[in-house]
Amino acid sequence: MADSRRWGSTRSRSTGSEGSTTATGTAGEDRALAHLRRHGLTLVERNYRVARGPSRRAGEVDLIMRDRDGTLVFVEVRSRAAASHGGAAGSVTGVKQRRVIYAAQHYLMRLSALPPCRFDVVSIEGDTLEWLVAAFDAG
């Protein structure tokens, strides 16, 4: 991952076992959103989906945020109970990156002017949250 500056790490109580991947993902996104807001980003859109994308699967951006300097930030949130199998950040593979980039490009087509953009990852493993700024590039 390119230029993965680390912006804060937090520990809080575990969200528990919701019993479903969707519930776990939503809880992780909620936690990531709260963390990013505390650092001055504002929510633009959540769970932006594109019906068709690379490999015939939909592209999705978990969170689209605006940073204080006007940068549009496309955020992939990955939650894992533990760091096994490469951990949460390691699960953002090239295929996943391409799907996020595809959805981001689709989103940007709606805008009249292109702002500066970046792709961040929020990795949650158990009680630890890590924000990787500029985790990957579109190029």
- Higher-pLDDT residue of 39 and 4 is 39
Mean pLDDT of 16-35: 76
Q: What is the tens place of the pLDDT at every residue in 75-133?
A: 999 887 655 555 666 666 778 888 899 999 999 999 999 999 999 999 988 888 999 99
Q: Which two tokens stand for residue 83?
A: 């760091």
Buried-state track 62-73, b at ≥16 Cβ within 10 A, e below 16: bbbbebeeeebb
Task: Decide the pairing of beta strands 128-136 and 5-11.
Answer: antiparallel
Q: What is the tens place of the pLDDT at every residue in 7-20?
A: 443 333 334 443 56
Judge whether 61 and 75 are in contact, CB under 8 Å: yes
Predicted local confidence at residue 42, as pLDDT:
98
Predicted local confidence at residue 139, as pLDDT:
76
Class of domain 5-136: alpha beta
